[in-house]
Structure 1
Amino acid sequence: MMTSADNKRRPTPRYALLWADIRWLLFWLSGGVALGLYSSYLLESIIVALLSYSLWRMYTLQRFNAWINKPVNTPSPDMLGGLSVVASQLYQNRKQERLTQQKLMGLVKKIRSSLLALQDAVILLNDTDDLEWWNQAAEDLLALQSSDQGNSIFNLITVPEFRQYYQTTVSPNNGIHMVSWLNPGRYLKCEVTHFGGEKLLIIYDVTRLQHLEQMRQDFVANVSHELRTPLTVLMGYLETFSDQPDIAPQWQRGFKLMTQQTARMNSIVNDLLLLSRLENEEKPTLNCIDMNRLLTQLFDDASVYNKEYGHHISLQVNTESNIYGAELYLNSALLNLVVNAIKYTPKGGNIVISWTATEKGCVFAVIDDGIGIAPQHISRLTERFYRVDSGRSRATGGTGLGLAIVKHALYQHQASLNIESEEGQGSTFSILFPPARICAAEPDLTTITTTIPDTDNLNNLEKY
């Protein structure tokens, strides 16, 4: 359905301008011919008619030129001939452009007002990383002045981590957290978004969130630490009472349950304390870890834990590469993955532990043919106390903190965890260590290779 605006913008017919001028030319010629036949001066009358037509055209052009130099909202004058069609079409186009421009200006004003009203700092940077525009929040948060316009962002933010983040960012990301260079008591989060050759820098004041997070970490650490002493006392007395030969039979089951639950609470406290150390220790002591020795110890620990499950556990070491990191935390993370595979694989199942070199780094993987995990749970597995099935977790004695510990330990090693699983088919937990974390091997390294029950499971590592 055509609207009035569409009709106004509809292009002029192909021969409309030509016909408009020819029609008036014929009119003047007809008048000259009629006058010549009446006065017996036919040629002279035709010449006079053509001159009159030319003068009329010049007068019309003069009016058109005077109108086109007037303000754009001036209606087109009443003119005859093709220029009348051109003037009318031009006026409608200019009117439509003016309306469109007004709408765009209104939209720009709304966007500008919205950005000015934001509580987060917004800074527009040009293609040479200079400040072009900023909102009031940026002015307040960063103490900007009008003289800062055109100044480089690196003269404003001198933190080395920001420069590294800014120069390596090419797409939307999670940003960078840092302490304010103007006020050490403030914590800021910076995000850079590229569009064309320009960038949009958004800076959030996350001081309150940082304080809340620190309070949470301190609370968990303090409570966990304070719980260790009473738990130790309880466990000691329970063991003492349980070992008494003359204990009444009706108390034996009660002491057994109390001992189990106290041990479970102690495991939770130990995991919480480990998590606190991982969160608060930003720069742990790093060494070149002998992965052959670490994996051998891991295999031995898994074999001991596996006695009551009867799984077939195999270890395959296909590279002599070692890892630069904190051995205590790395051992805890890898052992958590192996223990989880043992717990959630039916008795007599197969578990493969592998250490492989790829083009993107080294991969540690634990592959099992256990009960598997539904897809909707995989993204949340590393959350604290998240349970796929609370009943199943109670049966296996899990604390719900194992994969959270893995996540934080891997973060300190710049490693990434990938989880692939299918219900009833098993799971693959793989860790990719980047090349920057690989260090030289020990000269006496011995490769350990054992038979793998199902080599097809290793195909899950091909994507690395």
Structure 2
Amino acid sequence: MDEWMNRDWRGTLLRQAAALLGACLLVGLVTGEYGWALALGLGLQVAWTTRQLLRLRTWLQTQRLDEPPPESHGLWGDVLDNLYHLQRRHQRARDRLQAVIDRVQESTTALKDAVVLLDSDGNLEWWNPAAETLLGLKTSHDSGQPVGNLIRHPRFKEYVEQANYREPLDLPSPLSDRLRLQFHFTRYGNGEHLMLVRDVTRLHQLEQMRKDFVANVSHELRTPLTVIAGYLETLIDNAEDVNPRWRRPLQQMQQQAGRMQNLLNDLLLLAKLEATDYPSDNQPVHMEPLLRSIKADALALSAQRAHRFTLDVEPGIDLKGSEAELRSAFSNLVFNAVKYTPDQGEIRIRWWGDEQGAHLAVQDSGIGIEARHLPRLTERFYRVDSSRASATGGTGLGLAIVKHVLLRHRGRLDISSVPNHGSTFTCHFPPAQIARQAS
């Protein structure tokens, strides 16, 4: 089509040139002044072309979307006609695009979830009415403002700065602490972000009811269980006064009572971990003596099983947080390695730091875990093999405790495992969580 248009334009140009030349020769033939006739013709042509250019320039500078270009004839008529058709095509494309935008805005307006568009600098560009209800945004005041000026919660600032949006963020609404919101961030375009905010107050209340129920039941069961365990211990200590046939049942009851006490202790610890976001005793924790102490406890647990332990600690890298909580989490990982590694197996504990933060890896040469179990290992009471867990005396809450401790310390847990070749549990902590020792 472009080639056809080029040929058509060339034909029009040749015809116009031939007509001008013929008119000039005719005038020259009549007047006898061929040179002046040609000069006059060329001058008129230049003046006419200049006028068309000025008309086109004026139209381009002042045109409205619905104003067609000026009319003309000849070559300029073809040019302006093509501009008119191009203008109509663009107008139809704009109309279609505007219709899509209008439908998107209508659909987002109908959403109960807040939709907020942020530019590459984190400034507010656009939001739907639900954002005004959930976040208190005001069109006349907040447009162009940094989102951090309107949502001032420390965890929100940390979440945005880390730019790790794999998991959503739950926070109270800026309007009311009773309203619980969940923030989802999605990158798009050239560094822009789409922020989706959902009201999860009802889910939060249900989760809080579950936590309160577990904590209350655990507290209520603790006293009667302590009484039962105490009487069982007394009966076993006075076994010579008990019928020999009752000794084995009493020992089994004491064993099961001990398991129930461990379960209640883990449930209460989980309830405590979930009660707050940050540890109350957030202080620098010296990692080398902590890990050496855990290794000593693991050697005692291994006893006659003769596991081979290796501890590799990079000096000068400590963590900010609760020593008791970190000890509980790291001990769970190391003690699990002892439980599920065959006799004389190898267990390696490594602590190091890099530009990504600080890391703890617990690697064993144990029985390993199938890949289908890995995503669910940190769920409460999830067991790869219930009979094996019963044999080792586990409660099914150890890795759930590890997960919650890491969350409170802004860390995460990665698990890799190959059946019959061992497993590696790696804790990752961001650079902001590191408390480096003064050199």
Q: Tell me the distance in 1 between the aligned counterparts of 2:155 and 2:410.
A: 18
**Which position in structure 1 is the counterpart of 2:133?**
140
Structure 1 pair 141–382 and aligned structure 2 pair: CA distance change class (3 A): same
1:263 Cα deviation after fit: 2.8
Task: Say if 2:260 is the partner of 1:265.
Answer: yes
Deviations 1:96-153 (A, max 9, x none): 2122111110111112112212212233455676544332112223444443154634
Matched, 1:274 2:274: no
- 334-343 or 372-381: which moved more? 372-381
Q: Deviations over 1:394-449 (max 9, x none)?
A: 332321111111122223334443333222211222334556443649xxxxxxxx
On the 8 A contact 1:309/1:342 being kept in 2, the answer is no
- 1:230-241 equivalences in 2 (<5 Å): 230-239=224-233
Tell me the equivalent position of 1:459: none
Q: Does residue 422 of the first structure (1) align with residue 423 of the second (2)?
A: no
Listed as ranges, the matches of 1:168-183 within 5 Å are: 168=161, 170=163, 172=165, 174=167, 176-183=169-176
- State the alpha-carbon separation in 2 of the partners of residues 363 and 132 from structure 1: 38
RMSD, aligned α-carbons? 4.4
Match of 1:107 in 2: 100
- Structure 1 or 2: more helix by fraction: 2
TM-superposed CA distance for 1:160, in Å, is: 5.3
Alignment of 1:390-405 (within 5 A): 390-405=386-401
What residue is the counterpart of 2:111 in the other structure?
118
Alignment length, in residue pairs?
429
Q: Report whether the alignment pairs 1:347 with 2:347.
A: no
Contact 1:121 1:135 in 2 (8 A): yes
Partner residue of 1:218 out of 201, 212, 221? 212
Shift of 1:368: 1.3
AA aligned opposite 1:263: G
Q: Distance in 2 between matches of 1:170 and 1:291?
A: 27
- With over 3 angstroms needed to count, the CA separation of the structure-2 counterparts of 1:151 and 1:429, relative to structure 1, is closer
- Encode CA deviations 1:331-387: one digit per residue, 9 max, x unaligned: 211211111111111222122334456565554432211112233333332222222
Give 3-state SS (helix, strand or coil) of 1:430's partner: strand
The answer on whether the counterparts of 2:124 and 2:147 sit within 8 Å (CA) in structure 1 is: no
Moved more, 427-436 or 203-212: 427-436
| Pairing 1:304–2:300 present | yes
Please point out which of 8, 16, 33 is paired with 1:16: 8
Structure 1 gap segments, 5+ residues each: 1-6, 442-464
Q: Which of 438, 442, 457 is equivalent to 2:435?
A: 438
Q: TM-score, normalised by structure 2?
A: 0.78
Q: Which residue of 2 aligns with 1:384?
A: 380
**Counterpart AA for 2:389:** S
**Aligned equivalents of 2:164 and 2:313: distance in 1?**
37
TM-score of the two chains, using structure 1 as the length reference: 0.74
Residues 1:368 and 1:131: Cα distance change in structure 2 (over 3 Å): closer
Give the corresponding residue for 1:205: 199
2:178 partner letter:
G
The CA deviation at 1:188 is 3.2
1:149/1:269 CA distance change after superposition, 3 Å: closer
State the distance in 1 between where 2:121 and 2:360 align.
43
Q: 1:234 to 1:201 in 2, by over 3 A?
A: same
Which 10-residue stretch deviates more, 118-127 or 403-412? 118-127
Q: Indicate if the aligned counterparts of 1:132 and 1:149 stay in contact, CA closer than 8 A.
A: no
**Separation in 2 of the partners of 1:172 and 1:145?**
26
CA distance in structure 2 between the aligned counterparts of 1:210 and 1:439, rounded to whole angstroms: 37
Contact 1:166 1:192 in 2 (8 A): no
* Cα-to-partner distance string for 1:221-247 (whole Å, 9 max, x where unaligned): 111112222333343444556646653
Residues 161 and 362 of structure 1: CA distance in aligned 2, closer, same or farther (over 3 Å): closer
Q: Distance in 2 between matches of 1:320 and 1:31?
A: 96
Contact kept? 2:274, 2:404, Cα under 8 Å = yes
Tell me the secondary structure at the aligned position of residue 365 of structure 1: strand
Question: Could you tell me how far apart the structure 1 residues matched to 2:301 and 2:370 are?
Answer: 26
Q: CA deviation at 1:162?
A: 6.5
Instruction: Note the residue ranges of structure 2 that are not aligned, 5 or more in a row.
Output: none
Could you tell me the percent identity over the aligned residues?
38
